[in-house]
């Protein structure tokens, strides 16, 4: 857990006063629904007990002064009326970007801010969205701005797309903003409608980072997007969200084999994601096991984004949990993490099996995180 006292002390030491407000925004893991977001489909993430904390206080000028505890106390200073991209301090651009977008909608003055987080970097658990949402929540709380969770998520996404230069979907920011403790969130990426589905309290979310250095991820990600767009165009639909498996199969002769398989993944993944929400609602973990296994197989064979060590982790965990839980790769692919829903009494066995087998087979040391589904920054506590 993040030590909020340490954050408050660092703020006081840096700015010679106590913070006015302290907030937390969680990271996330996606249980199912991969590469469906930019195809206007469905995703099914949960907010997790790793995130970003921000301590903040008002200033009486237009200056923003920020210290990042996790970057050796690195500091940045800028004026709200002249927010520019900073090549030297990439972490600061997430702060700069959201404040630039927020200032288009609301009036507020300068800020002193201290930031820390414990979302594992590079694991695909969305440290950037957690930071964006935490900053937005902190400023909204400090200045009593009428900012909703959905609006904050959209601002965070805009900042990342337009200011930072990463073309992410809406999932990461929305789950960080409106997640609910004990629940996963089914998000319709077309309408931004969402609904909560409970995770059985006898289960835990286990995330294992393969620690495979991800190569080609940007170029391959862009290629997958283009292939999905080509499939939608040839099927005569605005996005693959509108396509059915029957449409795809009847048009197979007009599509290259890779484009056909990319579309098959997206269409079937949308169906699996909706089925997964129903399975959780009914606590049908046999269905959860099957759906997560099918999702992983589809990512491996149709979307071609898994790598051998990730496949190996899925196999190791599946051998322990069988049909009592589910496991699949999560995230953009070409490395990164696997996610598993594991009965509490099997968590220790999963840890042991991964520890015993993964390094022996791959020569790589994994990182394992046992997680719970937590509250979003803008969610009302129950």
Q: Is pLDDT at 121 greater than 80 in this prediction?
A: no
Average pLDDT over residues 171-186: 97
The predicted-structure confidence for 206-260, as pLDDT tens digits, reads as follows: 999 999 977 656 788 889 999 999 999 999 999 999 999 999 999 999 999 999 9
Quick check: 120 pLDDT over 80? no
Query: Token pair for residue 58?
Result: 């008002």
Angle (nearest 5°) at CA 37 between 176 and 326: 75
Helices 149-158, 127-143: crossing angle, 10 deg rounding: 130
Name the residue with tokens 């609904």: 195
Rounded Cα distance, 346 and 321, in Å: 7
- With 70 as the cut, is the pLDDT of residue 158 above it? yes
Task: Give the whole-number percent of the chain exceeding pLDDT 90.
Answer: 88
CATH code that applies to domain 4-198: 3.30.230.10
4-198 and 203-371 agree in CATH topology: no
Query: How many whole angstroms from its chain centre is CA 323?
Result: 26
Catalytic site includes residue 61: no
Domains of the chain, residue spans: 4-198, 203-371
What pLDDT score does 220 carry? Answer: 86
Model pLDDT, residue 166: 83
Q: Other C-beta atoms within 10 Å of 25: how many? A: 32
Angstrom distance (rounded) from CA 230 to CA 60: 52
> Which architecture does CATH list for 203-371?
2-Layer Sandwich (3.30)
Looking at residue 221, what is its pLDDT? 83
pTM of the model: 0.94
Query: What pLDDT score was predicted for residue 119?
Result: 86
**pLDDT tens by residue, 281-339:** 999 999 999 999 999 999 999 999 999 999 999 999 999 999 999 999 998 888 889 99
Residues 173, 84: Cα–Cα separation, whole Å:
22
Catalytic residue among 3, 172, 188, 302: 172
- Tally of CA atoms within 13 A in the half-sphere of 171 that contains its CB: 34
23 has pLDDT over 80: yes
Tens digits of per-residue pLDDT, 137-150? 999 999 999 999 99
Burial class for 54, CB neighbours closer than 10 Å (0-12, 13-18, 19+): buried
Quote the percentage of the chain above a pLDDT of 70. 97
């Amino acid at each position: 857990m993040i030590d909020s006292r340490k954050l408050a002390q660092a703020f006081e030491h840096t700015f010679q006063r106590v913070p006015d407000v302290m907030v937390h925004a969680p990271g996330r893991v996606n249980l199912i629904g991969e590469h469906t977001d930019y195809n206007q489909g469905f995703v099914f993430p949960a907010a997790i007990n790793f995130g970003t904390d921000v301590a903040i206080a008002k200033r009486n000028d237009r200056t923003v002064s920020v210290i990042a505890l996790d970057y050796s106390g690195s500091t940045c200073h800028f004026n709200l009326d002249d927010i520019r991209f900073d090549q030297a301090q990439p972490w600061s651009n997430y702060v700069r970007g959201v404040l630039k977008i927020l200032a288009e909608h609301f009036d507020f003055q300068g800020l002193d801010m201290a930031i820390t987080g414990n979302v594992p970097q590079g694991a695909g658990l969305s440290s950037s969205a957690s930071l964006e949402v935490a900053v937005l929540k902190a400023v909204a709380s400090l200045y009593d701005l009428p900012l909703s969770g959905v609006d904050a998520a959209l601002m965070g996404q805009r900042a990342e797309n337009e200011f930072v230069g990463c073309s992410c979907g809406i999932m990461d920011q929305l789950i960080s903003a409106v997640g609910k403790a004990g629940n996963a969130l089914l998000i319709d990426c077309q309408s931004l409608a969402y609904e909560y589905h409970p995770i059985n309290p006898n289960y835990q979310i286990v995330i294992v980072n393969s620690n495979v250095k991800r190569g080609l991820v940007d170029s391959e990600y862009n290629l997958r997007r283009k292939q999905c767009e080509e499939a939608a165009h040839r099927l005569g639909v605005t996005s693959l969200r509108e396509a059915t498996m029957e449409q795809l199969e009847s048009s197979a002769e007009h599509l290259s084999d890779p484009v056909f398989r990319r579309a098959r993944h997206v269409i079937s993944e949308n169906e699996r994601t909706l089925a997964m929400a129903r399975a959780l609602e009914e606590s049908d973990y046999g269905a959860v096991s099957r759906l997560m296994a099918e999702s992983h197989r589809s990512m491996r064979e149709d979307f071609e984004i898994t790598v051998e060590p990730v496949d190996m982790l899925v196999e190791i965990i599946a051998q322990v949990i069988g049909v009592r839980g589910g496991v699949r790769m999560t995230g953009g692919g070409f490395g990164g993490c696997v996610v598993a829903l594991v009965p509490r009494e099997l968590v220790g066995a999963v840890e042991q099996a991964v520890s015993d087998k993964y390094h022996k087979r791959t020569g790589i040391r994994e990182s394992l995180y046992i997680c719970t589904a937590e509250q979003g920054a803008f969610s009302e506590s129950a």
